[in-house]
Amino acid sequence: MSESTALDNFLEKWRSRWPEWQLVQGFVPEPQRRIAVAWFALLQELADAMNIAGDPLPADAKLAWWGEELRDWARHRSRHPLGRVLEPVQAPWALLADALPALSLMRGLPQEADAALPLVAPLANAIAQVEAGLFPGARRRSALPELSAQLLFTRWMEVPPHADAPRWREALLAHWPARVGGPRPRRVLATLMRLRLQHLHADGQGSTPSKPLKLVWTTWRAAAGGS
């Protein structure tokens, strides 16, 4: 498999999980779109490593590999295909590597969302700082509670707490306003995620898709909310 094909496979894997992106990607400046998809694909790869079921050793080994890889990006060396897009951008990759242990903590979340949010705050902080490097010019950085809520939702999508789905949904939404901060790609994705959370089924298994007109309108408002 060629390097280009491997990269495209990772990008397409993320797009397949977020087909809504196709409708709203035009709200992201064209020069940022490929970087945005590569970045979100990287975050998905990290989440997938954390979500490996059963024996945690393979997941821990994969996260350790990613830590080494991200530290190499800080030295402008990369092995993973996503690094071909992301590594040349000046961003605090080593800080993200140091925050990866928070993903291991997310395998055993407390029963209360308010107790889980502090566990992912270091990772949320690292993500916010990397995004400030990837997408310069945002008027304000993502607030940590709302970004932490988004991270918890990515975990929830894979292993939902079925009995507590309505309570967790309301708890996460309480920390996740409709108008979020951060660069435009983050605001667009956060809006897509929040719509899924709002429409989450009562048993926590999947969500009702938003109507395209509402999705586009809501995302446009979020994209227009800052530089």
Inter-helix orientation angle 113-134/144-158, to 10° = 110
pLDDT value for 90: 93
CATH code: domain 3-223 is: 1.10.600
Which pTM value belongs to this model?
Answer: 0.92
- How buried is 224 (Cβ within 10 angstroms: 0-12 exposed, 13-18 middle, 19+ buried)? exposed
* pLDDT tens profile 124-170: 999 999 999 999 877 667 788 899 999 988 877 766 555 577 788 88
Predicted pLDDT of residue 13: 94
pLDDT for the residue numbered 159: 64
Residue 213 pLDDT exceeds 70: yes
Of the spans 20-24, 135-139, 209-213, 223-227, which averages the highest pLDDT?
20-24
Q: How far apart are CA 19 and CA 8, in angstroms?
A: 16
HEC secondary structure over 96-159: HHHHCHHHHHHHHCCCCHHHHHHHHHHHHHHHHHHHHHHCCCCCCCCCHHHHHHHHHHHHHHHC
Strand partners, 200: 207
What is the predicted pLDDT for the residue at 2? 66
Alpha helices in 51-79 (DSSP H): 56-74
What backbone torsions phi and psi does residue 199 show, to the nearest 5 degrees?
-100, 15
Q: Sketch the domain layout of the chain as residue ranges.
A: 3-223
In this prediction, residue 202 carries a pLDDT of: 67
Share of the chain above pLDDT 90, in %: 56
Query: In the block, which residue shows the tokens 């397409």?
Result: 12
Residue 200, SS3 per DSSP: strand
Span 55-66, average pLDDT: 86
- CA dist., res. 226 & res. 187, Å (int): 9
The dihedral built from the CA positions of residue 63, 68, 74 and 79, taken in this order, carries a sign that is negative
Position 8 pLDDT exceeds 90: yes
Residue 158 Cα distances to 17, 18, 127, 154, 167, angstroms: 12, 14, 20, 7, 17
Model pLDDT for residues 79-98, shown as the tens digit of each residue: 999 999 999 999 999 999 99
